[in-house]
Amino acid sequence: MYIIVVGAGKVGWNLARELLEKEHEVTLIESDRRRYLTVEQELEHNVSYGDASELWVLERAGVQRADMVIAVTGDDEDNMLICQVAREKYLVDQIIARVNNPRNRQHFDLLNVKPSVSATDLILRLLEHEVPEYGLVHLLDLQEEQLEIIEMLLGKDSGLIGRRVGDLSMPEGSLLISVLRSGKGFVPSADTVLEEGDEVLAVLDPGKEDDLKRLFGPEGASANGG
Amino acid sequence: MFIVIVGCGRVGSSVARGMLREGHEVSCLDEDPESHARLEVGLEKSWEDLGGQFTVGAGLEIEALVAAGTEKADVFIASTDGDNTNIIIAQIAQRRYEVPTVIARVLDPLRAEWYQRQGLHTVCPTRVAIDMLETAVRESGGRDGTPDDASEAA
Count of domains forming chain B = 2
- Are B84 and A53 within 8 A, CB to CB? yes
- Are B84 and A81 within 8 A, CB to CB? yes
Q: How many helices (H) and strands (E) does chain A have?
A: 8, 11
List beta partners, residue A47: A28
Q: Does residue B152 carry a pLDDT above 80?
A: no
Q: Which superfamily, per CATH, for A131-223?
A: Regulator of K+ conductance, C-terminal domain (3.30.70.1450)
Identify whether the C-beta of residue A200 lies closer than 8 Å to the C-beta of residue A179.
yes
- For residues A72 and A63, what is the distance between their CA atoms, to the nearest angstrom? 16
Q: Which residues of A touch B96 (CB under 8 A)?
A: 110
The arrangement of strands across the sheet holding B25-30 comes to B53-56, B25-30, B2-6, B75-78, B101-105, B121-123
Q: Does residue A223 carry a pLDDT above 50?
A: no
What does the pLDDT look like over A146-182, one tens digit per residue? Answer: 888 888 888 888 888 899 998 888 888 889 999 999 8
Same domain for B140 and B102, yes or no, is no
- For residues B101 and B106, what is the distance between their CA atoms, to the nearest angstrom? 16
- Are B110 and A55 within 8 A, CB to CB? yes
Q: Which of A77, A80, A89 sits opposite B82 (nearest CB)?
A: A77
pLDDT category at A226 given cuts 50, 70, 90 is very low
- Residue range(s) of every CATH 3.30.70.1450 domain in chain A: 131-223
Listed residue (B79, B14, B71, B75) closest to B40, CA to CA = B14
Same domain for B115 and B136, yes or no, is no
Q: Give A31's contacts (C-beta < 8 A, 6+ positions apart).
A: A49, A50, A51, A52
List beta partners, residue A140: A149
Q: Give A95's contacts (C-beta < 8 A, 6+ positions apart).
A: A68, A69, A70, A71, A83, A86, A87, A113, A114
Same domain for B153 and B102, yes or no, is no
Q: Give B66's contacts (C-beta < 8 A, 6+ positions apart).
A: none
- Are B96 and A75 within 8 A, CB to CB? no
- C-alpha distances in Å from residue A162, one per residue of A191, A194, A195, A200: 11, 5, 6, 14
Same domain for B154 and B117, yes or no, is no
Identify whether the C-beta of residue A99 lies closer than 8 Å to the C-beta of residue A118.
yes
To the nearest whole angstrom, how far is the Cα of B13 from the nearest Cα of chain A?
Answer: 23
Whole-structure pTM value: 0.77
Which range marks the domain in which residue B68 is found? 2-123
- For residues A203 and A175, what is the distance between their CA atoms, to the nearest angstrom? 5
Overall average pLDDT of the A25-47 stretch: 97
A2-122: CATH topology is Rossmann fold (3.40.50)
- For residues A1 and A97, what is the distance between their CA atoms, to the nearest angstrom? 18
To the nearest whole angstrom, how far is the Cα of B132 from the nearest Cα of chain A?
Answer: 23
pLDDT category at B146 given cuts 50, 70, 90 is low
Which amino acid type is present at position A124?
A: L
Q: Does residue A221 carry a pLDDT above 60?
A: no
- Are A54 and B92 within 8 A, CB to CB? no
CATH number of domain containing B114: 3.40.50.720
- Residue range(s) of every CATH 3.40.50.720 domain in chain A: 2-122
Same domain for B112 and B129, yes or no, is no
pLDDT for position B150: 61
pLDDT for position A11: 94
- For residues A69 and A13, what is the distance between their CA atoms, to the nearest angstrom? 14
Q: Which residue has the higher pLDDT, A166 or B94?
A: B94
- For residues A82 and A87, what is the distance between their CA atoms, to the nearest angstrom? 9
Backbone φ and ψ for A61, nearest 5 degrees, come out as -80, 0
Same domain for B134 and B108, yes or no, is no
What residue ranges in chain B does DSSP mark as E strands?
Answer: 2-6, 25-30, 53-56, 75-78, 101-105, 121-123
Report which secondary-structure segment, H or E, holds A210.
helix A209-216
Same domain for B52 and B76, yes or no, is yes
CB proximity B95 to A under 8 Å: yes
Of the listed ranges A48-62, A89-103, A118-132, the least confidently predicted one is: A118-132
Number of Cβ within a 10 Å radius of residue A82:
30
pLDDT category at B73 given cuts 50, 70, 90 is very high
Same domain for B75 and B52, yes or no, is yes
- For residues A105 and B136, what is the distance between their CA atoms, to the nearest angstrom? 46
Instruction: Report ipTM for this prediction.
Output: 0.88
Number of Cβ within a 10 Å radius of residue B154:
6
Strand pairing category for B25-30 and B2-6: parallel
Same domain for B56 and B90, yes or no, is yes
- Are B95 and A81 within 8 A, CB to CB? no
Same domain for B10 and B21, yes or no, is yes
How far is the first Cα of chain B from the last one, in angstroms, to the nearest whole number? 46
Same domain for B45 and B96, yes or no, is yes
Same domain for B111 and B141, yes or no, is no
- For residues A78 and A70, what is the distance between their CA atoms, to the nearest angstrom? 12
